[in-house]
Amino acid sequence: MFTQLGIIGCGLMGGSFALAAKRAGIVKRVVGYSKSPSTTEQAKRLGIIDASAESALRAVAGSDLILIAVPVSAIEATFKAIRQLIEPGALVMDVGSTKRDVVDAARRVLKDRITSFVPAHPIAGKEVSGIASADATLYQGRQVILTPLQKTPAELVQKATDAWAAVGSNVLRMTPENHDAAFAAVSHLPHILAFAYFNSVARQPAGRDFLSLAGPGFRDFTRIAASNPEIWCDILMANREEILKQTQAFRHTLDAMEHVIRTGNADALEALIRSASDARAGWQMNAGTPGSAR
C-alpha cells in the first residue's frame, strides 16, 4: 500500500504506528527522525525504524506516507521543515489531540501542499511515553478521528482511512470544531480534574498519610494524572477555549452537589448520584459512531 513510512517524532505514538504498520504489511520501509539523535538510535536498535534521518525533511524524502507524531505545539514548525519535499500524492497525517490549531497551522504553512494533509487523532495512549513503550497493538480496537479539509481529495481521505483500519482502528470523520469540543469534554477536562485533584490531596499537611490509605477507586480515578506534562500542557493550551467552557459546566454540577450536601438534602443528593450512576452504567466504550465514515 505504501513504499516508505516517514515518522517524525519517535515516541510512543509514532513508534507504535511504525510497528503496527509493518506488522499489517502496509509499509515496506520505515525512516524515522527525532529531535534527539539518541532516541532515533534507540528506535533503530529496537527495530522500530529501518533507517534514521538527520532531519525531519530527510524523513519525508522518498516517503509516500508521513506521520507527524510530535507534541501539538511543535507541529507548525514541523510543517515548515518538511513542506518542500512533500511529493504529490503523498499522505501526511498527524496524531495530535487537538485539531483546530493543527488545521490552522496547516493552512498557514503548507499552502498548495495542504491537499496531502489529513489531520488525525487516534484515541489511544498510555501514561508512559517514549519509544521504549511503543506497542504494535496500541491502536487496535481504538477510534481514530479524521478531520479532513474540504479541499482534500476523497481518495486521499480513503487512503488514510484504510491505513488506520489496517492497524486495527475504527475510523470516524468530524469537523475540527466538533472534535475539539468533544475532546475538551471527554478527555481534556478529566485530565485537568485528575491533575488538580492529585495536587489538592498531595499538598495537604497529612497528604502522605492520606495517599497511603487510598484504594482501587482512587487508583483508577487518578491514573491519567500521571500523564506526560509536556504533552498535556500543549494540549490544554491548544484547546483552552473549549476547555474553559467545560470547566464552567463542571463547576455548575459540582456546585449543585456541594449545595445539597451542605444543606443536608439527601433526596436531592441521591437523585444527582443516581443520574450519574445510571448514565455511567449504561455507557460503553466505542459503542456509538456518530458521523462515522465506515
Of 85-144, which residues contact a copy of itself (CB under 8 A)? 123-125, 127, 142-143
Q: How far is the CB of 262 from a copy of itself (least distance, A)?
A: 6
- List alpha helices for the chain, DSSP H: 12-24, 37-45, 56-60, 75-82, 100-110, 154-166, 176-183, 189-202, 207-212, 216-221, 229-238, 240-262, 266-281
CA distances from 281 to 81, 142, 201, 233, 275 (A): 47, 21, 27, 31, 10
Q: How far is the CB of 22 from a copy of itself (least distance, A)?
A: 24
Please select the residue that binds a copy of itself; options are 64, 130, 197, 293, rule is CB under 8 A: 197
Is residue 205 at the binding interface for a copy of itself, with CB under 8 A as the rule? no
Q: How far is the CB of 20 from a copy of itself (least distance, A)?
A: 17
For residue 119, the tally of other CB atoms under 10 A from its CB is: 27
Is residue 191 at the binding interface for a copy of itself, with CB under 8 A as the rule? yes
Q: Is the Cα torsion angle 262, 264, 266, 268 positive or negative in sign?
A: negative
**Residue 94, strand partner residues:** 68
Please select the residue that binds a copy of itself; options are 225, 242, 293, 294, rule is CB under 8 A: 225
Reading the block at residue 46, the C-alpha cell is: 529496537
Is residue 214 at the binding interface for a copy of itself, with CB under 8 A as the rule? yes
Closer to a copy of itself by CB, 46 or 269: give it.
Answer: 269
Interacting positions 226-245 with a copy of itself (CB under 8 A): 226-230, 232-233, 236-237, 240, 243-244
Is residue 281 at the binding interface for a copy of itself, with CB under 8 A as the rule? yes
